[in-house]
Amino acid sequence: MSTEVKVPTLGESVSEATIGEWLKKPGEAVALDEPIASLETDKVAIEVGAPVAGVMGQYVVNVGDNVAVGAVIATIEDGAPSAGAEPVAERKETAVAPASDSAASPAAPTPAPTPVAAAVASDAAALSPAVRRAVLEHGIDPATIKGSGKDGRITKDDVVAAAEAKSAAPAPAAPVAAAPAAPAGERGEERVKMTRLRQTIARRLKDAQDTAALLTTFNDCDMSAVMSAREKFKDSFEKKHGVKLGFMSFFAKAACLALKDIPAVNAQIQGDEIVYFPYVDLSVAVSAPNGLVVPVVRNVDQMGFAEIEKAIGALGKKAKDGTLTMADMQGGTFTISNGGIFGGLMSTPIINPPQSAVLGLHRIEDRPVVRDGQIVIRPMMYLALSYDHRLIDGREAVTALKTIKEAIEDPTRLLIDL
């Protein structure tokens, strides 16, 4: 008895996925709810668990195939696993002979032996073991050799002499090759089909460029105060809250302060309407094995530093483990993307539609700046705010970024809501 494995519900507005990888081979034992396949959707990878315990049966679809919700992708069989389970790819390559009226044909034709091997097999009784070995090694047809031994038997020396004569003779013209072999050192190419996630990323980024009136405003930020506060309180913070104090919580709180003052930066265009949100659902761009993803921290404007750090850390771990859900990805009113962790000095980030703005963070480096008429060295970071100019005016974008800068340079502002 077999049980069908079907594509589970993938989330709101997601109707199909792509078979990314089979995690179990036919014939292998499968436990209840054990992952047997990985599906790639537009946003995340989802594992399909076994509906029953048993033995992995046949694949109904192949890796790379698109499947709809509810479609059958494999079967689970009752019984114990086979000792030598054959992968489905090998079974598919086995030739199936057509049925015959006289007798059943073999499942796959036996490959024909080479002429030399056939000749050796036919003359096995007449050839000594040493001669048979020499014939096979030199590739000489024994029928073409005149034996010098007793009763005209072929000797090993006869085989060697025939091989030398063959090598001395001019080689026949080589047939025209169907495709010339690539010369040594030739540069090669590799073609890999884009994953569904990468296709979605490409489409959404291009749509953002084609739809929104994108513009980026820049500023630089002195990180001295935040770095000093972090260094002073990092040990006690981690001891109390069980999480490290990073820079993202400072920027998240600073962004909330700016979005409260400039509501348009936290708004969206939907049709011919502008939707303003009284809350901040912060999308945080993180790197996952299959590409960049932006899970959402809900109601970040109501969180403290420790809550923000824990939430971002948990989402980052899920992204690396490939366990993000559709719920983790949906929504978001504003995005922070930290290219500084990869060493980026400056960039023009692209908004995450339908959002209207994204804050780009970059690496911190010591630079000479003027303070009170003196040139001093300070840890500086470039900030970039890309925004949809259809909704956000330049004055609003510059003001929002300036508010973020001032809050980072003087974190006391975060405490007194200034």
Whether pLDDT at 331 is above 80: yes
The one catalytic residue in 235, 389, 410, 417 is 389
Range of the domain at 121: 115-167
Residue 110 has pLDDT above 70, yes or no: no
The band of 182, judged by pLDDT with boundaries at 50, 70 and 90, is low
Choose the weakest-confidence range: 21-35, 72-86, 319-333: 72-86
Instruction: Please report whether residue 102 resides in a domain.
Output: no
**Residue 159, domain CATH:** 4.10.320
Phi, psi of 157 (to 5 degrees): -65, -35
Task: Give the mean model confidence (pLDDT) for residues 291-316.
Answer: 92
Query: 25: how many CB neighbours lie within 10 A of its CB?
Result: 15
Same domain as 321, residue 394: yes
CATH number at residue 39: 2.40.50.100
Domain boundary among the residues 93, 123, 143 is at 93
Q: Which residues pair with 361 in a beta bridge?
A: 338
- Residue 328 annotated as catalytic: no
Write down which residue in 93, 126, 151 finishes a domain.
93
Q: What mean pLDDT do residues 161-175 have?
A: 65
Q: Residue 107 falls within a domain, yes or no?
A: no
Last residue of a domain, one of 149, 167, 185: 167
Question: In terms of domains, do 261 and 375 share one?
Answer: yes
Residue 190 lies in a domain: no
pLDDT at 98 over 60: no
Distance between alpha carbon 29 and the CA centroid of its chain, in Å?
A: 27
User: What tokens appear for 173 in the block?
Assistant: 């013209």
Asked if residue 148 and residue 13 are part of one domain, the reply reads no
CA distance 114 to 118: 6
**Three-state DSSP class for 93?**
helix
By CB atoms closer than 10 A (0-12, 13-18, 19+), residue 278 is exposed
Output the domain CATH number for residue 393.
3.30.559.10
Joined together, the tokens standing for residue 96 give 């199936």
pLDDT at residue 341 is higher than 50: yes
Which residues neighbour 235 within 8 Å (Cβ) at sequence distance 6 or greater? Answer: none
Q: 104 pLDDT band (50/70/90 cuts)?
A: very low
Taking all residues of the chain, what is their mean pLDDT, rounded to a whole number?
82
Give the best-scoring range by mean pLDDT among 24-28, 66-70, 170-174, 238-242: 238-242
pLDDT at 389: 96
Do 129 and 23 share a structural domain?
no
How far is CA 261 from its chain centroid?
A: 39
Tell me, yes or no, whether 188 lies in a domain. no
- Cα pseudo-dihedral 214, 345, 376, 409, rounded to 10: 50
In a domain, 179, yes or no: no
Q: What is the dihedral of CA 185, 189, 190, 193, to 10 degrees?
A: 180
Are residues 236 and 380 part of one domain? yes
- How far is residue 165's CA from residue 169's CA, in Å, rounded to a whole number? 6
**Contact partners, residue 173, CB within 8 Å, separation at least 6:** none
Same domain for 319 and 405, yes or no, is yes
Q: Is 97 exposed, middle or buried (0-12, 13-18, 19+ CB in 10 A)?
A: exposed
The verdict on residue 173 lying in a domain is no
Percent of the chain topping pLDDT 90 = 40
Mark whether 283 and 401 lie in a shared domain. yes
Name the pLDDT band for 205 (thresholds 50, 70, 90): confident
Of 105-109, 239-243, 401-405, where does mean pLDDT reach its minimum? 105-109
Between 37-46, 83-92, 114-123, the lowest mean confidence (pLDDT) is in 83-92
Predicted local confidence at residue 62, as pLDDT: 87
- Which member of 65, 157, 235, 393 is catalytic? 393
Residue type, 208: A
Residues 348-401: pLDDT tens digits? 999 988 999 999 999 999 999 999 999 999 999 999 999 999 999 999 999 999
Residue 360 is predicted with a pLDDT of 96
Number of independent structural domains in the chain: 3
Domain match, 284 and 355 both: yes
Only one residue has tokens 């005149």, namely 146
Residues 367 and 223 in one domain: yes
Q: What is the pLDDT of residue 102?
A: 40
125 and 26 within one domain: no
How many whole angstroms from its chain centre is CA 196? 10
Residues 238 and 375 grouped into a single domain: yes
Sorting pLDDT into bands at 50, 70 and 90, what band is 187? Answer: confident
Q: Would 246 be classed as within a structural domain?
A: yes
Same-domain check for residues 119 and 86: no
Q: Does some domain include residue 253?
A: yes
Is 393 noted as a catalytic residue in this protein? yes
